[in-house]
Amino acid sequence: MENLRKVGALFTPNIIMRIHYLCGMLVFGTATAISMKIQLEMTCKGYGGIEHKFEKPFFQSIAMFVSMACALPISYAGDMVAKFRAGRRGAEGADKPLLAGNTTLQEGAEPAVKKSKNPFIVAVPCCFDLLASTLMTFGLIYISVSVFQMLRGSMVIFSAGLSFVFLHRPIRLYQGVGLLICVSALILVGIAGAMIPVPGMSVTTFQTIMGCSLVVFSQLIQAGQLVTEEFLLKNLDLGALKIVGFEGVWGSLLMIFVACPLAYLVPGSDFSTMTHNSLENTYDSFICLFDSVPLIGCTTVFMFSVLAYNCYGMLITDVFNAVNRTIFEAVRTTCIWIVDLIIQKIWPDSPYGEYWSNWSYLEAGGFMLLILSSIIYNGILRIPYLKYDQDKPKKEEEQSETPITPSDDVGV
């Protein structure tokens, strides 16, 4: 009985809350990646009654941005609940002097930088997100979801380089070592991805290399998004969930009125009224969607997972530090890989999941190197004789470092 009490004492409300946030991030992060790949492999009857695979990167981007836009009403609903609770508690400190809590102004220091509430600023990094998300989904068509997830780790290389060039942020020696290990890991993962067969698909080596290249190139664009966000959004007075929501709003509008019409006009293999067909026919996408109940279900899971993953991502950011989030991202990639292997084991004749082959050991080795590069880059594992700036204030250190994990505010 005494042991039970000790165990119960460990699970304080704070610990339970952290476990809840972590499990939510892992479950919905895994569901987002897996459902992305499953959608691309599903067959449906579309325009002209032609049956084909639902290889629709532009449609997936629309679904992602619409899901992110749903974060906006959730954020405003949370604000209303907070105001209601504050009203019930009463205005505490209403009789206090106006500047009682503002020591900066009382001491005659310079006023703080004026914050902007203009949500249109979010549209600029949203353009980067739109292009990166669509390109990486095109790449996912030709590679497994585990390779896709690991290749996204290349973003740290580009974000560190862009931050060095445009934000004049130095790259320390130990971070350079981490980046070199990251490059080596990505080469191993890319080779393994080119050799491991994709279930239900006859993919050539060229197509696999192209898929890997598209994913890596998309991370260059996403790194540009991070740098742009840091430059433009540093004085934006909006909560993180509102920024995600407005990014979803502008992304949805850009997809509907700009990207999808262009995709319809550009020649491609998607069936349409154009004589040369289209890169992607959005009308065909909706015909497929309403013709297939499983596709509706998979799309619904994807959209809900994107929304929940972004919400949990915001909660994780408030509760855990950068070191924890680095480890969580590695655990998420592991979960995605395990689920993919289980799917193939349960349904060996299906086009879903991922084979385990001799090349998978090379992929596993590359993944271990990715984790090693992450913990070295973030200073978790320290290399002897290298300088680590131990006396640097924590806030300044967090602001001066480029995260090695992919940005989680983009939905996927």
- Model pTM? 0.83
Q: Tell me the HSE value of 117 on the side-chain side, using a 13 A CA sphere.
A: 0
Residue 350 one-letter amino acid = S
Q: With contact defined as beta carbons under 8 Å apart, do 410 and 218 qualify?
A: no
Report d(CA 208, CA 196) in Å as an integer: 10
**Token pair of 71, please?**
């974060």
Q: Which of 153-157, 162-166, 229-233, 394-398 has the lowest mean pLDDT?
A: 394-398
Distances (CA, A) of 243 to 185, 233, 250, 333: 33, 9, 11, 26
Q: With contact defined as beta carbons under 8 Å apart, do 242 and 78 qualify?
A: no
SS3 43: strand
Q: With contact defined as beta carbons under 8 Å apart, do 188 and 363 qualify?
A: yes
- Whether pLDDT at 408 is above 80: no
Buried b (16+ CB within 10 A) or exposed e, 318-333: eebebeebbbbbbebb
Distances (CA, A) of 290 to 286, 287, 295: 6, 5, 8
Residue 117: DSSP 8-state: -
Residue 153: DSSP 8-state: G
Confidence of residue 90 (pLDDT cuts 50, 70, 90): low
Confidence of residue 312 (pLDDT cuts 50, 70, 90): confident
- Whether pLDDT at 21 is above 90: no
Report d(CA 95, CA 72) in Å as an integer: 34
Residue with tokens 């890169």: 279
Confidence of residue 105 (pLDDT cuts 50, 70, 90): very low
Mean pLDDT along residues 270-298: 89
Provide the residue count of the chain: 412
Report d(CA 105, CA 260) in Å as an integer: 51
Percent of the chain, pLDDT > 70?
A: 83
Residues in Cβ contact with 49 at an 8 Å cutoff, skipping those fewer than 6 apart? none
**Token pair of 70, please?**
């749903």
